[in-house]
Amino acid sequence: MKSIHAQFAWLGGESCALNVRITTNNGLISAIEPNSAATAKDLRVVGVVMPGFVNTHSHAFHRALRGRTHSGAGLGDFWSWRTLMYQVANRLTPENYLALASAVYSEMALAGITSVGEFHYVHHQPDGKHYQDPNEMSKALIEAARIAGVRLTLLDVAYLHGGLNGQKLGQEQQRFTDSTIENWLSRVDMLGASSAMHTVGLAPHSVRAVHEVELAQIAKHRKNRVVHIHVSEQPAENEACRAATGRTPTKLLSDAGLLGSFTSAIHATHLDASDIALLGQSKTFSCFCPTTERDLADGIGPSAELVAVGSPLCLGTDSHAVIDMFEEARAVEMHQRLISNKRGVHRSSELLAAATVHGASSLGSKIHGLVVGAPADFIAIATDSVRLATFDGENGAAHLVHSATSSDVRDVWVGGEQIVKDRIHRSVPNIAESLRTSIAAVL
């Protein structure tokens, strides 16, 4: 049994509670007591304790592109960025990806991320041949998360086609594919049982790469696993889907039996009114990745409409142009303000929930947050910086969403174990150097 005494804690509302004792036992939260005096045994936390961030959409190796693809005239669009990204994808090996991903997940831990959903599609050797263990790359990612001390949902990607009209996969996409949906399902089944620190989910890449009959197969063989899929990130994807099938990607997923509270629609940017209604009725999650979507000039998704009809929002750092879940949460609201000429489209508590508890549900967790019975995954935000020096708990959610950065995360606990203490990671002491060397190896 361990206990901490927090000066402030965000328990889900607009304001923060004061003087909150949090007791943990066997990795779970066993008591939350606001307005309590500290006892001699308590670890005193000055600042704000809140649930750990849940990053629902990550491609760990994209971190290698940070600082290399963002500026200059004539940068092109999503599709020209993808060419650069594929070059890095084809330099990955199980060894260098283990080093890179453990550095990236450690950077996430430092930013207060306690769970990550890794949308993983670099499965095989560059020529498409399997490694001796066909899940060698997946296992490298599971090991990377273990080193970093964060929970992982390995969203194993099915990638079967180069488009909706029978286009073959390109040379640079050979290592992503298992050729058939049956091969993919049996390889994913071979990943075996989950552990306390990792689970496996199913991730058809997109309606371009996995067609309707295969999507229906995934629905049939889901076995309680969550489903994540890129949906309508680009207008071109919608146009191709309509031309080939007469339907939108969202309608196609609905017809394949793949919408529901077990599914997350990643990006969900270019939706029409009927798509929004389908996602809402089915309680499908909408995962926004605003710092990536704006970097890639994707557009701004209809977050307010989705929330209004019942699709919970969750958030991902996706390409890792930055790893800062406060920035993702803030961006959802700020992008809406710019396009609606209205302020306060989303409540701040709703934005923090998107970055924490809804994200955990999207990854299949039954309970998350500062509640009794949840895993003891929480973080402490320092309030001694110039950014948060006037923090007093009143409107605490708004103060955090609109002013805090990942640099304000001081301490991180996962399963009751402290993995970051005073901004130092317990097992990866020099994360910046780990990033430098592991990224240099794949460029």
Q: Which residues are catalytic?
A: 267, 318
CA 129 distance to own-chain centroid: 29
Position 205, amino acid: H
**Rounded to an integer, what distance in angstroms lies between the CA atom of residue 282 and that of residue 248?**
16
What are the beta bridge partners of residue 153? 117, 199
Give the CA dihedral 181, 187, 188, 193, nearest 10 degrees.
150
Angle between helices 396-403 and 348-355 (to 10 degrees): 60
Whether 348 contacts 14, CB under 8 Å: yes
Whether 204 contacts 215, CB under 8 Å: yes
